[in-house]
Amino acid sequence: MKLVDQIGFDAQGLVITAITDHQSNRLLVLCYMNREALERTLCEGRVYVYRRSRQQVMLKGETSGHIQTVREIRLNCDENSLEIRVEQQVAACHAGYFSCYYRHWDAQTESWVIHDQPVFDPDKVYAS
């Protein structure tokens, strides 16, 4: 049986996928994959995602060049979500941070606090 046949895609044909950095174990981003995105990821060894806003499959890092190379794929116990451990080129976050999770909640000030430093300038990378 193929790996894609063992995944419990939801009613929309999607599976939520956590992308983590294989060296630091940091959560980089949560995304969705459909069958095509997962098959392309497996075939090419680079992460493809399903962009719900555009209703299309896209290579993660296609615009920025910040590609994610697959190192390991993990399936949860209910077979309805994935973790893909990757080697991240530069950064995963379009806002310029290594991870999309660059803020934490400070209960005392009741505000979000940025705890990381940007690793690239998004205005330069995504300039049109």
Q: Do residues 86 and 22 touch, judged by C-beta distance below 8 A?
A: yes
Nearest of 64, 70, 60 to residue 30 by alpha carbon:
60
- What is the pLDDT tens value at each position of the chain, 128 positions in all? 788 999 999 999 999 999 999 999 999 999 999 999 999 999 999 999 999 999 999 999 999 999 999 999 999 999 999 999 999 999 999 999 999 999 999 999 999 999 999 999 999 998 86
pLDDT of amino acid 128: 64
Nearest of 51, 23, 17, 28 to residue 116 by alpha carbon:
28
128's tokens: 């049109």
Q: How is the chain split into domains, by residue range?
A: 3-125
Question: What is the reported pTM?
Answer: 0.92
pLDDT of amino acid 127: 81
How far is it, in rounded angstroms, from Cα 59 to Cα 42?
12
pLDDT of amino acid 37: 98
CATH superfamily of 3-125: Phosphoribosyl-AMP cyclohydrolase (3.10.20.810)
pLDDT of amino acid 76: 97
Q: Which 3 state secondary structure label does DSSP give 113?
A: strand
DSSP 8-state code for residue 6: G
